[in-house]
Structure 1
Amino acid sequence: MTGKWIDISQTLHNGIAEWPGDTPFTYEVAFAKADTGSVNIGKMTTSTHMGTHIDAPFHYDDAGIKVHELPIDVYIGKAVVIDVSGLDSVGYSNLEAHDFGGAERVLLKTSSRPNADVFPQSYTVLRPDIGPLLKERGVKLIGVDTPSVDSEHSKTLDAHHALYANDVLILENIVLDEVEQGEYELIALPLPIAGADGSPVRAVVRRLGK
């Protein structure tokens, strides 16, 4: 038995916070029905890392695979939500006692990004030693409710690289405020953008076993 679908995506809207220095999100009706006689047509400008999004390895590795090359099955299937609220960072020691229930996708609820319209001064990050643990457990995707798995000021992106080295892909800026710890089904498909380094996604989950 499964529960209802829960949207865990940030709503894209004018005013949503972008990564400092990145392209802001804008949407406008470029052609109105009153003018065209038949339809409204919108125009959107955005970074590929706006709102809830995935990182393709090309984002942080010139030799990494791009969005259109990603295996889409990684973004669909059983996931486990683990509440790590209150931690400054999350690594091997914080997760080793948790039973992933065989899930290939782990979603971390850090509660450190309370407002999508304000870029946080600080947020929970991942330590590089999380990569080997996830690989040991067969995890292929890590999701976080923060703008990045690394800090805003990191230039080496140690967590990104450690995850990639252990065959773990990245989902960022999910919204888990109303999602309890437990097992879920996840769908978080990227757009098939040729050559891209990332993509916004519509991420949803539904509880398993309830």
Structure 2
Amino acid sequence: MSCWIDISQPVNNQLAHWPGDQPFHYHTALTKEMTGSVNIGRITTSAHVGTHTDAPYHFLDDGKKILDLEVDRYIGPCKVIDIGSFAAINEEALKSKITQPTERLLIRTSLPNNPERFPDDVPPITADGAAYMRSIGVHLVGVDTPSVDPVSSKDMIGHHSLFANDIYILENVMLDHVDEGDYELIALPLPLQDADGSLVRAVIKPINGGNRDAEST
């Protein structure tokens, strides 16, 4: 029996999307009855619905695109922490849960996992939070929110601060059913050559039980 845990949002026609952006839509354009052999589906979607990763091109005109990114950032050991008692993902919040080195960090916030409802606002990642992550070796951060910045943000401090600290961004992971602790992560983006983002299928597997104290190594 597999011990991998799916932390991806289900991708369906009810999936919430960023206000004003292209929603996800799937339909069977050609049926087996029509073709005589197979069903063929078609999708239309933004690159930023569901569980997805952002490329720097999302917020920098000269930034790297999805296919330019290091694929190994999305595979390997990670740590899950819960900072739901804090209003922002800042240095104080992070220090309360983790001081030991880790390359990949998945963060559960106070926002309930509800793929069919787009939140009014989210706990943002702050500049000092991004700098602290870099100080403990983080190269990829995943959050259970649709953005690392406030929904109304135009200066995108979270995105730019993470970029400045060489930290990749994974958004909309589902962590409500996951214990804090150590896991193996696979969250590969599609090989989209010119894209600013990509949907991913994110899964984790417990390491040494997975639900140990998040501060342990």
Task: Say whether the 8 Å CA contact 2:83–2:97 is kept in structure 1.
Answer: no
Aligned twin of 1:147: 146
The CA RMSD measured in Å over matched residues stands at 1.2
Q: Report the counterpart of residue 175 of structure 1 in structure 2.
A: 174
For 2:205, give the aligned amino acid: R
C-alpha distance in 2 between matches for 1:6 and 1:148:
22
User: Mean Cα displacement is larger for which, 154-163 or 103-112?
Assistant: 103-112
**Partner SS for 2:127:** coil
1:61-111 deviation per Cα after TM superposition (whole angstroms, max 9, x unaligned): 111110000000000001000101132211111112433653200000014
Distance in 1 of aligned mates of 2:178 and 2:152: 29
Stretches of structure 2 lacking an aligned partner (at least 5 in a row): 210-217
Alignment of 1:20-169 (within 5 A): 20-99=19-98, 101-169=100-168
Q: Percent identity?
A: 48
Structure 2 distance, partners of 1:92, 1:26, is: 39
Shift of 1:114: 3.1
Higher relative contact order (CA 8 A, sep 6+): 1
Report the alpha carbon displacement of residue 46 of structure 1 after superposing the two structures with TM.
0.5
Structure 2 SS opposite 1:160: helix
* Distance of 2:100 and 2:178 partners within structure 1: 17
**1:138, distance to aligned residue in structure 2 (A):** 1.1
TM-score (structure 2 length as normaliser): 0.93
Secondary structure of 1:153's aligned partner: coil
Give ranges in structure 1 of 5+ residues lacking alignment: none
Q: What is the TM-score normalised by the length of structure 1?
A: 0.96
Give the conservation status (yes or no) of the 8 Å contact 2:112–2:176. no
Question: Whole-Å Cα distance in 2 between the matches of residues 104 and 24 of structure 1?
Answer: 32
Q: Which amino acid aligns with 2:163?
A: Y
Query: Partner amino acid for 1:80?
Result: K
Give, as a single letter, the amino acid of the residue that structure 2 aligns with 1:209.
Answer: N
Equivalences, count:
208
